[in-house]
Amino acid sequence: MITVREIPASRALSKSGLPELDYSLNPYLGCLHACRYCFAVDMTSDKDARENWGHSVVVRSNIVEVLRREISRMPRGIVGMSTITDPYQAVEGRYRLSRESLAVLLQNGFRVTIQTKSPLVRRDADILSSHRSTCDVGMTLTSLSGDKSAVIEPGAPSPASRVRALEELSSEKIRTWIFYGPIIRGFNDDRETAESIMEIAVSTGSRVIFDRFSPYRTAMIMMRESGFPVESLRSGMSWWKSVSGMIGEEALRKSVRINSQNEEYMNTSMSGQSRLF
């Protein structure tokens, strides 16, 4: 059963702990995509959303009004939308808080970087295409296999629908990128997956950012419940070095720009590039 609750937000923009972002904006708490590897569970303040991950979502119903008030006194910067939820999960179809927040931010001189697994983001192509130089859209692709995706992100739209969304946004000349991750040992760390993702990057003109699974407490529990052995989740640096090298080779072969979130293994030809703008 899905639970949706509305609460008032006291703040809209939060200072981001991520180096490439100034602020984060999360219109929802909890996420119906229900990813088994989700690090955001341990960062979500709402108890019910945390304890019923993937089945309970909180709508911060007045966030657009709060945002309009807040931005008059805030320095302009880069806003990540979203950092602990998917801004285009199914409830956004009804509440449109991400759409309205996006419009407010872009119309007021902020830059916005979106990360999602949902083709619903295409709905907002009108806003995005009016602010092409100050926004981008990242689509997460853990695997191109619908069967694999169903195991680790059971509530998320299919990989094929995400690829179609990327293609459509790209055809509108909206800047796009792909997040390839989290990469899990023995699951999606193979050359065929990396090669397919690079091909999509080429056809959509997207940059690729990749990262491995992070062993957050609740994510570890959920992944083990889904049948992943500890050794595939706590894989060592030699494995990651080898996988990063393989991804770097595939990227070079296809002239795709990449960034690793672990800079130590960044493709040296790409080092120093921001994922944004």
Binding site for ligand SF4 (CB under 6 A): 31, 33-35, 38, 40, 85-86, 117, 153
Question: Whose Cβ is closer to ligand SF4: residue 134's or residue 213's?
Answer: 213
Nearest to 27 by CA among 75, 77, 99, 76: 99
Minimum Å distance from CB 229 to ligand SF4? Answer: 21
Minimum Å distance from CB 182 to ligand SF4? Answer: 9
* 169, 135 contact by CB (below 8 A): no
Minimum Å distance from CB 173 to ligand SF4? Answer: 26
Minimum Å distance from CB 42 to ligand SF4? Answer: 11
Minimum Å distance from CB 152 to ligand SF4? Answer: 9
The three-state secondary structure class of 245 is helix
Question: Whose Cβ is closer to ligand SF4: residue 35's or residue 114's?
Answer: 35
Distance, CA of 257 to CA of 261 (rounded, Å): 13
Q: What are phi and psi of 157, to 5 degrees?
A: -60, 155
In order of 2, 5, 53, 54, 262, the CA distances from 49 in angstroms are 10, 10, 6, 8, 29
Question: Whose Cβ is closer to ligand SF4: residue 71's or residue 177's?
Answer: 177
Distance, CA of 163 to CA of 105 (rounded, Å): 26
Question: Whose Cβ is closer to ligand SF4: residue 34's or residue 103's?
Answer: 34
Question: Whose Cβ is closer to ligand SF4: residue 195's or residue 262's?
Answer: 262
Phi-psi label, residue 255: left if phi above 0, alpha if psi -120 to 50, beta otherwise: left
